[in-house]
Chains A and B, each alone.
Chain A
Amino acid sequence: AAGVIQSPRHLIKEKRETATLKCYPIPRHDTVYWYQQGPGQDPQFLISFYEKMQSDKGSIPDRFSAQQFSDYHSELNMSSLELGDSALYFCASSLGGGANNEQFFGPGTRLTVL
């Protein structure tokens, strides 16, 4: 079965650079969530989109922005990168926005900021 696809899988950037992470949800899924997981930490919710509109926002820095496109894929744009942004970034997708809808997680993008 098709799963959530994230690219790139690994990314190395310098401080103050920008990064773009991409997420391709499971076909027919219309909701995308972004989570950040620091080393040894639990995933922290960043932002979500339902039908291309932002549906909820968590602890996402102002330096980050995201959007969902007409084909439902999503991109997380990160600017002025800091050392503390080094983490695993997960995208999850679900069919239908709202709670109680199973979220399927992608394999993650490991971002390292040097």
Chain B
Amino acid sequence: QQQVKQSPQSLIVQKGGIPIINCAYENTAFDYFPWYQQFPGKGPALLIAIRPDVSEKKEGRFTISFNKSAKQFSLHIMDSQPGDSATYFCAASMADSWGKLQFGAGTQVVVTP
């Protein structure tokens, strides 16, 4: 059973658009929420991460919004570029889990020129 639910499954946007990927969780013990970017045949690479005491975090063109009461968080990719075309995974882990990441199902993002 997926502990972190991610949507949509896929997304196509034009260059400059803002893909938005949403994730939801039930387990309130989760306290670390990273986003990973994965290109075909490569390992996931950490993009940005957030903790529940922060409602928003920006790093470059990537922004995480976090709603603790709704148990939801989302990734926004500003001014998207064709090079951003990849699969994006949200994930969550608990303080007492030694870093075990529970991944969402992934979102395939395609940015057209």
Contact = CB atoms under 8 A, between A and B. Distances in A.
Interface in A43-57: 43-45, 48, 50, 55-56
Contacts of B2: 42
Q: By DSSP majority rule, is chain B's interface helix, strand, loop, or mixed?
A: loop
B113 interface: no
A99 B93 contact: yes
B103 A42 contact: yes
A103 B46 contact: yes
Given A43-B89, A99-B32, A56 B97 contact: yes
Contact of B44 (A41, A90, A99, A100): A90
B45 A102 contact: no
A90 B43 contact: yes
B49 interface: yes
B95 A105 contact: no
Query: How many A residues are at the interface, by size bracket?
Result: 20 to 34
A60 B65 CA distance: 33
Given A100-B51, A102-B49, A45 B44 contact: no
A100 B34 CA distance: 9
B102 A45 contact: yes
Given A105-B44, A106-B43, A33 B100 contact: yes
Contacts of B46: 102-104
Contacts of B89: 42-43
A50 B42 CA distance: 24
The CB with the most chain A CB atoms within 10 A, among B99, B104, B105, B106, is that of: B99
Nearest to B90: A42
Contacts of A103: 46, 99, 101
Interface of B: 2, 31-32, 34, 36, 41-46, 49, 51, 89, 93-106
Given A42-B105, A98-B95, A102-B46, 10 more contacts: A31-B99, A35-B101, A42-B2, A45-B101, A56-B99, A92-B43, A94-B99, A98-B99, A99-B94, A107-B42
Top 7 nearest A-B pairs (CB, nearest first) are A105-B43, A42-B103, A55-B98, A56-B98, A99-B93, A45-B100, A100-B32
